[in-house]
Amino acid sequence: MPRLLLITITTALSLVAATAVAHASVDAHAARTCSAPKYPGSGYFTSLSVKRVTCATGRKVVLAHYRCRTARSRAGRCHRKVRRYSCSERRNSIPTEIQSRVTCRRGSKRVIYSYQQNL
């Protein structure tokens, strides 16, 4: 009887360990908050979060989108892919500033950031 109990306990512990590993791999793909890069112009990045990419990649995408956006004018928009990410932007603007939230997608990868830019 003790041997059967030992096998049962060992099996139960194995299942618990396997479940913990499964949850850890799911958490590795969860969104995380990163420090935003320094804003190159007059304004600032207010937040940056990434999903299924590193924070360093997120910062590169943010700066590439900024360069695309401001290539024609300070209040410009980017209508092409940056670093193979498609970005969409939701703006709240007044004559002197832009506040925006940008979501860049590449398959299941996400870079989400917000910024405030003075005009």
Do 62 and 109 reside in the same domain of the chain?
yes
CB count, 10 Å around CB of 20?
9
pLDDT-derived band of residue 10, with 50, 70 and 90 as boundaries?
A: low
**16 and 39 co-located in one domain:** no
Domain ranges, residue 65? 32-118
Q: How confident is the model at residue 30 (pLDDT cuts 50, 70, 90)?
A: confident
**H/E run at residue 116:** strand 109-118
What is the CB neighbour count within 10 angstroms for residue 114? 17
Q: Are residues 106 and 94 in the same domain?
A: yes
Percent of the chain with pLDDT over 90: 74
**For residues 48-57, average pLDDT:** 98
pTM: 0.76
Output the CA–CA distances (angstroms, integers) from residue 107 to 20, 93, 112, in the order listed: 27, 29, 14
